[in-house]
Amino acid sequence: MSYGATRNDTTDDTEAINNTISDAKAQGVWVFVPAGTFRHKGFTLDGVSMTGADKTTAILFGFDAANGTVYVKGSGVTVSNVQIKSASTVRTSLDWPLYIDRASNFTIDAIVVDGGNSGGIVNFGGLNGKIINSTVRNTLADGIHNTFGARDIIVANNTVRNTGDDFIAVVSYGQGDPIARNILIQDNDVAENDHGRGITAVGSSDITIQRNKIGRTGCCAGILVATEPAWTSPPLSNVLIRNNTLSNNSGYTGHGTFLISGLNGNIDRVRFEGNTIANPVHDAVKLEGNNSNTAIINNTISDPESQGIFVLEGSNVYCSGNTLNGNPVSDPKCTGVNNFTVTGSSLRY
């Protein structure tokens, strides 16, 4: 407001925000957003941090969804205690409320992202970062999306609701893009989408998905580990999935609540352990495509509409200690040997 921004009106505050950022960078200080709604047409935090009075009252409103992105660039940027709101209209692949553009050592903490024509928080090649304690809702694509070589990332303690696609995704595309790797997805609470999966790891490596709560996914898997033909995904390896709670997942596509789908290259070394699956719409656990070295251990399954464990395809699939409505459950193709190691991400939080 010291630079001319006015709250709770119809004025475009973009110029005032940019002038504030420029001066903050010159002085080596943070930008502060007071309570109020400030309208803008997008701006960039390049090496400049921003915090707000409170994530429910300090609102940055991208009133033009096609020109309302907040970009994070450079090193050491923190964005905290603000709400980034977008006037969503129609799904696109370009209009993101918050876009991490190959930044490093960044922290996204205690923010709200509400709306978005595309993904809510998109991490495009960010390194050594945290996306934590935040809420993403009402996006038209993924809630939190990590891609283009995103590496050494913690995604933890977030709440995601009502997305147009996956709640939390790690995706590597096969057009020569760098592979996303070493990502920890932990203690998130995600639920309620009609088109998309819950938490996904596609064509990536060294991923841990643990202690998350994954509610209704109207069409698709609660947790997906995959190589996908549509994205010509590279091979995927070393994924640890443990102690998650999944309920009312998979929907009309025939996915398993937990689905391994190696349809475009090999999936190697996946451990699915200690998870609880309730009311799967189809199979609780399903394996298909080119996958090898999978351990399905000590999972608790209740009331699936189809099978508890269904191994359509897979090499060296090991099953032990799984139960269906309190009784032991396996699959005739669970004949593998647990002679491989899955470590997942090296990160801890």
Angle at 93 between CA 261 and CA 171, to 5 degrees: 30
CATH code of 246's domain:
2.160.20.10
pLDDT score at 175: 74
pLDDT score at 65: 85
pTM higher than 0.95 for the full model? Answer: yes
Number of Cβ atoms within 10 Å of the Cβ of 248 = 18
Distance CA 242, CA 221 (A): 16
- Integer angstrom CA distances of residue 72 from 201, 245, 275: 24, 32, 35
- Integer angstrom CA distances of residue 257 from 133, 226, 284: 26, 13, 5
99's tokens:
């876009």
Number of domains composing the chain: 1
* Backbone dihedral angles phi then psi of residue 23, each to the nearest 5 degrees: -70, -40
Is 305 domain-assigned?
yes
Task: Specify which residues 154 forms β-bridges with.
Answer: 130, 184
CB contact burial 100-122 (16+ within 10 A = b; e otherwise)? bbebbebbbbbbbbbbbbbbbbb
* Backbone dihedral angles phi then psi of residue 62, each to the nearest 5 degrees: -80, 90
pLDDT score at 176: 82
pLDDT score at 193: 95
Nearest residue to 225 (alpha-carbon basis) of 244, 329, 216: 244
Burial environment of residue 138 by CB neighbours within 10 A (0 to 12, 13 to 18, 19 or more): middle
Biggest distance spanned by C-alpha atoms of the chain: 70
* 84: Cα separation from own chain's centroid: 17
Distance CA 17, CA 22 (A): 9
* Backbone dihedral angles phi then psi of residue 110, each to the nearest 5 degrees: 55, 50
Which residues form the domain of 98? Answer: 45-328
Is 260 domain-assigned?
yes
pLDDT score at 208: 98
pLDDT score at 31: 98
pLDDT tens string, the chain, 349 residues long: the values are 999 999 999 999 999 999 999 999 999 999 999 999 999 999 999 999 999 999 999 999 999 988 999 999 999 999 999 999 999 889 998 899 999 999 999 999 999 999 999 999 999 999 999 999 999 999 999 999 999 999 999 999 999 999 999 999 999 998 788 999 999 999 999 999 988 999 999 999 999 999 999 999 999 999 999 999 988 999 999 999 999 999 999 988 999 999 999 999 899 999 999 999 999 999 999 999 999 999 999 999 999 999 999 999 999 999 999 999 999 999 999 999 999 999 999 999 9
- Integer angstrom CA distances of residue 200 from 48, 205, 207, 220: 31, 12, 10, 11
Is 6 domain-assigned?
no
Is 147 domain-assigned?
yes
152's tokens:
């050494």
Burial environment of residue 175 by CB neighbours within 10 A (0 to 12, 13 to 18, 19 or more): exposed
